[in-house]
């Protein structure tokens, strides 16, 4: 890498760092002001009643579901719902996952995704989508409501307000959910323009801010459970002594209801 390129990188990194840290600080301020309280109460009450946190996101928002479900320091009664479940646990073919337009935009797929979930009446759904308008995420949120499950949405309020819904209901995820958490991502997600002479903006932030939101939700839920006198079911890293044994003992309580793997 030449000197001029290094100089540009040195100028870009602080700018991107500022964009990220400013948004994380704003989320923290919101959390301290009670922005997360309603969502945390829904998650804690669900777990206390034997429910599972059903986390769903498509595209890059699947990273949010992965941050919620099945990771060290996270809640054990969590299940990651993924678009590919319609292949792994449904009747779709792998080729259909890569069609155009993307399957995530098809509202009809929501019924098939929802059918793959082993649900309990106490389950709560946490659904992430930066745009909040694709047919699959809105459809799953509507189905969760129809079956009596509360829905927490993680979305960009700035972005979703500027794009048209793709679900026949005409609704956005933010208009379906019981609680909406703003991931603070800008319209189009990316934060920096004109990098290396590029016409398109770069430096996307929604995955970073949503992962932070997932951790705040987890910490808040565990705190709430402890206050209720409920032992928080939390994963220990499988890569430390005794981790597997600890985790299996808890997972056995939710046998068949939480999926781990691809």
Give the separation between CA 262 and CA 256, rounded to whole angstroms.
16
What pLDDT shows up at residue 195? 82
The pTM for the full model equals 0.94
Helix (H, G, I), strand (E, B) or coil at 164: coil
Q: What is the pLDDT of residue 163?
A: 97
At 126, is the secondary structure helix, strand, or coil? strand
pLDDT at 171: 97
Residue length of the chain: 262
Amino acid 227: pLDDT: 97
Regarding beta strands 179-182 and 190-192, do their DSSP bridges make them parallel or antiparallel, or are they unpaired?
A: unpaired
Q: Are 152 and 39 in contact (CB under 8 A)?
A: yes
pLDDT on residue 61: 96
229 dihedral zone (left: phi>0; alpha: psi -120 to 50; beta): left
Can you spell out the DSSP letters for 209-251? HHHHHHHHHHHHHHHHHHHTTPPP-BPPPTTSTTHHHHHHHHH
> Does residue 124 sit in helix, strand or coil?
strand
- pLDDT tens, residue order, the chain (262 aa): 555 666 666 778 999 999 999 999 999 999 999 999 999 999 999 999 999 999 999 999 999 999 999 999 999 999 999 999 999 999 899 988 888 888 898 989 999 999 999 999 999 999 999 999 999 999 999 999 999 999 999 999 999 999 999 999 999 999 999 999 999 999 999 999 888 788 899 999 999 999 999 999 999 999 999 999 999 999 999 999 999 999 999 999 999 999 987 6
- Residue in 143, 218, 208 with CA at minimum distance from that of residue 177: 143
Radius of gyration of the chain (CA): 19
Given 3.40.50.2300, 3.65.10.10, 3.30.9.10, 3.40.50.10490, which CATH number is that of 3-254?
A: 3.40.50.10490
User: For residue 194, what pLDDT is reported?
Assistant: 83
């Amino acid at each position: 890498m030449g000197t001029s390129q290094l100089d540009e990188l040195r100028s870009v990194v602080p700018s991107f760092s500022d964009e990220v840290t400013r948004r994380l600080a704003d989320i923290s301020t919101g959390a301290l002001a009670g922005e997360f309280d309603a969502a945390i109460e829904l998650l804690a009450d669900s777990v206390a009643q034997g429910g599972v946190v059903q986390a769903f996101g498509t595209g890059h928002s699947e990273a949010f579901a992965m941050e919620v479900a099945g990771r060290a320091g996270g809640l054990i009664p969590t299940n990651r719902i993924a678009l590919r479940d319609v292949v792994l646990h449904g009747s779709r073919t792998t080729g259909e996952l890569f069609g155009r337009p993307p399957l995530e935009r098809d509202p009809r797929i929501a019924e098939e995704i929802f059918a793959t979930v082993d649900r309990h009446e106490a389950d709560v759904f946490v659904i992430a989508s930066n745009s909040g308008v694709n047919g699959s995420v809105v459809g799953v949120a509507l189905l969760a409501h129809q079956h009596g499950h509360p829905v927490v949405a993680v979305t960009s309020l700035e972005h979703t307000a500027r794009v048209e819904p793709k679900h026949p209901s005409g609704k956005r995820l933010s208009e379906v959910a019981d609680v909406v958490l703003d991931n603070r991502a800008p319209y189009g997600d990316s934060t920096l323009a004109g990098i290396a002479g590029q016409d398109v903006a770069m430096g996307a932030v929604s995955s970073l801010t949503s992962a932070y939101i997932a951790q705040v939700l987890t910490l808040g839920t565990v705190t709430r459970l402890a206050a209720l006198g409920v032992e928080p079911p939390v994963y220990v890293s499988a890569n430390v002594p005794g981790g597997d044994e600890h985790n299996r003992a808890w997972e056995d309580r939710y046998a068949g209801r939480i999926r781990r793997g691809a």
